[in-house]
Chains A and B, each alone.
Chain A
Amino acid sequence: MRVGVITFPGTLDDRDAARAVNRGGAESISLWHADADLKGVDAVILPGGFSYGDYLRCGAISRFAPVMKLVIEAAGNGMPVLGICNGFQVLCESHLLPGALTRNSDLHFLCRDQEIEIINNATVWTSSFTAGEKITIPLKNGEGSFQCDDQTLAQLEGEGRIIARYVGVNPNGSRNLIAGITNARGNVVGLMPHPEHAIDPLTGPSAQGMGFFTSILNAMVN
């Protein structure tokens, strides 16, 4: 199974995402923002970082990168897409996911180990977890506050589309402690904290982030 990892100018976490994909048992394929070719991948990860310098708004310019046209099309056809941190911001700007990520409520860039609770384990990216499972993975961003209107929030809650929530004190002002959401179909997932940095206790707070990368493999094999 081939999982594409997209590099935009300013992406930081593509190497870690590729490493996590490989360790999960799939083959990572590097995709470049200017590519007009998805190289036959079965799934795509949009990693974290500061694509296009976060100019204008986080993810606003990346959305119009040539490769995103293909990603948006493929997502519409059911291809699994995971956006982590900046990747989540790109997915929201692309309207593949509702809402937007705005400046953290205390204005600080946060970098900490964050406990989150997996709420929805029925997506292709979360099936390795049990619902209610709590994991600790890094959270590192300046614009991580998930915002949307009341109607969208009620819809996300009502349809079980919140995949993970922050545990304890709200770190960034996200509505309803939202750390990650999915689209109606369940193939597109956006997550603010970083599972790809938590796949080995040597380099992360835990190896609990691994579940996102084994989930996709299970989804493809079954």
Chain B
Amino acid sequence: MLKREILDPQGNAVAAALPRLGFTFANSVRQGKRFEIEIDGEPTSEQLADVEKAAEVLLSNPVIETYVVRVEK
């Protein structure tokens, strides 16, 4: 996700489009990215650490973005 202090023009455009469709629930919208990475079996702690590293080095830009790693089955 873009950090709070970073301008998010795409999120703002979505926020502006919602009320035009009658959806009036949103105070604001922030847009992010999601990567689905498949592995075999349960991730080991080493694999999780590698994913964290990849998230920091490549998948996100820590200058403007934050990331969360989540394991799903």
Residues of chain A at the chain B interface (Cβ within 8 Å): 56-57, 60, 64, 92-93, 98-100, 102-107, 145, 147-150, 173
Contact = CB atoms under 8 A, between A and B. Distances in A.
Given A149-B5, A173-B7, A100 B63 contact: yes
A100 B64 contact: yes
Contacts of A103: 9-10
Contacts of B2: 102
The bracket for how many chain B residues form the interface is 10 to 19
A147 B13 contact: no
A100 to B, nearest CB: 5
A102 B6 contact: yes
Given A107-B10, A147-B7, A102 B58 contact: no
Contact of B58 (A60, A100, A104, A149): A60
A60 B9 contact: no
A69 to B, nearest CB: 14
B7 A102 contact: yes
A93 B61 contact: yes
Contacts of A105: 7, 9
B12 to A, nearest CB: 9
Given A56-B58, A64-B58, A92 B63 contact: yes
Nearest to B2: A102
Nearest to B60: A57
Contacts of A104: 9
Contacts of B29: none
B59 interface: yes
B7 A148 contact: no
A64 B10 CA distance: 27
Interface string B32-56: 0000000000000000000000000
B61 A57 contact: yes
A106 B12 CA distance: 10
A63 to B, nearest CB: 9
A99 B6 CA distance: 11
A148 B7 CA distance: 10
A107 B61 contact: no
A147 B64 contact: yes
Contact of B63 (A56, A99, A107, A145): A99
A99 B10 CA distance: 19
Given A99-B63, A100-B63, A148-B63, A107 B9 contact: yes
A173 B9 CA distance: 9
B10 A100 contact: no
A55 to B, nearest CB: 11
Contacts of B59: 56
B55 to A, nearest CB: 12
Lowest 7 A-B CB distances belong to which pairs? Answer: A100-B64, A100-B63, A103-B9, A107-B9, A105-B9, A147-B6, A173-B7
